[in-house]
Structure 1
Amino acid sequence: MNNFANIIEVERGNLKFAYVQNDEINYLTLFDQFLAEEGHHELLDPSDRIERYTYLINDNQNKFIFKIDGGVEHRLERRIIAKITGDFYFNLIYKLAKMSLDQCDIAYDLYLVAFDKITKRHYMIFNFIEGRSLKWEEMKEYEEQVRYCIEKLHSYNLVSNDVHGGNFILTPEGKVKAIDLTNSGFIWLTKANDAIELRERFNIKIKVPMLAMAIKNFTHGFKRLSRKIRGKED
């Protein structure tokens, strides 16, 4: 059984880990096994971003998602924000653990995070959620669940920041769960991105801080005007 109340942080050589204690599965051992067999697992949804890969792992009738993110942020403002707010994935494992402890089952579980100080790669082990992505037209059909997911994420200072069907899984039981979450940067402001995308793409309304909405509405409007002046389509 996973003990989300107990997240262990250790360092091993150039690797730094944070992982959930589990009486039945040793996630450090699972991590080592994957690295030893890298390239022999099913590659899921290859990203167009360099050094980002997602694999499916089968381990004794259990399925896990193993993700590698070797992307290095080159934008100065993003690097400054990361210095202020801390490591994206190490923050994420604690926030998702809090959700699991609260039995808030609207997203995935994150069991292990590792960071290689030399290669700057991040490694993650998630649970595998059975189901399929929502289609664009289904977002409105499952409006109540989608709204609930986003509002609950916001209550844990997590956001989607890219609201579309591909970032929601519909389970065989008909439950909607959010994936591909964001928890870095100025979350109070990023929440407005979710509200704007839900409103403009799917006519779904949620409440976020008024100041954040005002700032984001202004910047979105400015971007549209800029694109129009340059003759680019939205």
Structure 2
Amino acid sequence: MNGYHLYQKPHSQHVLPLLLEPRSAAVLQVFGTGHPKRHVRLVQWQTQPYILKCDQEPETRPEKILMNILFGSFYARLMRLTEKAKRQGCQVFQDVYAVKEKRRLRMSSEAMAVYEYIEGTPLDQLPNRADYHAQIITCVLQLHAAGLASNDLHYGNFILTPDGDIKIIDLSCKGSIKVCQANDVLKLQRYLDPELHGHGWVYHLIRGKEAWRAKWRAYRRKHRDEK
């Protein structure tokens, strides 16, 4: 439609007018992204709050371009994976309802997505974040069990809901899900629980690569200090 590919969840036809006419919504809050061509807003449309994300930043990194060519549209796959996870009963992540995007050579050049708004407080705004480490780990492992991954774990991507639950937002699992899951586990090990163990050859391959990089950096520092 008008040069866009449109995706929607089966139960989300009601948000298509918002996706097609985003200016019809009242902007309640604008979130900083650190990227001039990425915009994230909390909007109110037909009395309901939604997160509206717009990304016009072209991908320039060779490895990411290759991933896009191999795996196709990130948003189309995210819609399928999150719908499957919801059917399995996984409720720990922010859902995505509808997306429109322009594609060229299987790569997205412009995308706008309507996401679920999860009420609560980001953990990076709380002083006692360590109290939620066990819940964070449980949340991520449930996400993995449902066939998803974050690939961008930090406190700001976890929301403490009024019911005391932890939910994860802003899934960035582009490319191989197994690689993204391994990255999640390694980050949890590094910052939250050194005793946490990953599984599978992809995890051990990435763990070996990280160990080699750490040894190489240590060697370079030692060599530089000796000079």
TM-score range, shorter chain: 0.7 to 0.9
Alpha carbons of structure 1 residues 117 and 210: separation in structure 2 relative to 1, 3 Å: closer
Alpha carbons of structure 1 residues 210 and 137: separation in structure 2 relative to 1, 3 Å: farther
Name 1:33's counterpart in structure 2.
21
Aligned residue for 2:9, secondary structure, equals strand
Alpha carbons of structure 1 residues 28 and 60: separation in structure 2 relative to 1, 3 Å: closer
Percent identity of equivalent pairs: 24
CA distance, structure 2, for counterparts of residue 108 and residue 20 of structure 1: 14
Q: CA deviation at 1:162?
A: 2.5
Name 1:127's counterpart in structure 2.
116
Q: For 1:96-175, list aligned pairs within 5 A.
A: 96-117=82-103, 120-135=109-124, 138-175=128-165
CA distance, structure 2, for counterparts of residue 198 and residue 69 of structure 1: 28
Q: Which runs of 5+ in 2 are unaligned?
A: none
Segment drifting more, 70-79 vs 141-150: 141-150
Q: CA deviation at 1:54?
A: 0.3
Q: TM-score, normalised by structure 2?
A: 0.84
Are the equivalent residues in 2 in contact too, given 1:69–1:122 (CA < 8 A)? yes
Structure 1 segments, 4+ long, off by >6 Å, are none
CA distance, structure 1, for counterparts of residue 48 and residue 116 of structure 2: 9
Q: CA deviation at 1:225?
A: 4.0
Q: Deviations over 1:162-203 (max 9, x none)?
A: 222111100011000011213321221222211111111112
- Name the count of aligned residue pairs: 217
CA distance, structure 2, for counterparts of residue 54 and residue 64 of structure 1: 10
Name 1:90's counterpart in structure 2.
76
Q: For 1:190-209, list aligned pairs within 5 A.
A: 190-203=180-193, 205-209=195-199
Aligned residue for 1:120, secondary structure, equals strand
Are the equivalent residues in 1 in contact too, given 2:24–2:45 (CA < 8 A)? no
CA distance, structure 2, for counterparts of residue 89 and residue 194 of structure 1: 20
Q: TM-score, normalised by structure 1?
A: 0.82
Are the equivalent residues in 2 in contact too, given 1:113–1:123 (CA < 8 A)? yes
Aligned residue for 1:26, secondary structure, equals helix
Q: CA deviation at 1:138?
A: 4.4
Name 2:48's counterpart in structure 1.
62
Instruction: Considering fraction of residues, name the structure with more helix.
Output: 2
Q: CA deviation at 1:57?
A: 1.1
CA distance, structure 2, for counterparts of residue 183 and residue 200 of structure 1: 19
Are the equivalent residues in 2 in contact too, given 1:111–1:126 (CA < 8 A)? yes
Q: Deviations over 1:18-69 (max 9, x none)?
A: 112448x6222111231x458x624432111231110111123210000001
Q: CA deviation at 1:115?
A: 0.4
Are the equivalent residues in 1 in contact too, given 2:15–2:97 (CA < 8 A)? yes
CA distance, structure 2, for counterparts of residue 60 and residue 87 of structure 1: 29
Are the equivalent residues in 2 in contact too, given 1:143–1:204 (CA < 8 A)? no
Are the equivalent residues in 1 in contact too, given 2:28–2:44 (CA < 8 A)? no
Q: CA deviation at 1:139?
A: 4.7
Are the equivalent residues in 1 in contact too, given 2:6–2:100 (CA < 8 A)? yes
Name 1:19's counterpart in structure 2.
8
Q: Of 175, 185, 188, which residue of structure 2 is paired with 1:185?
A: 175
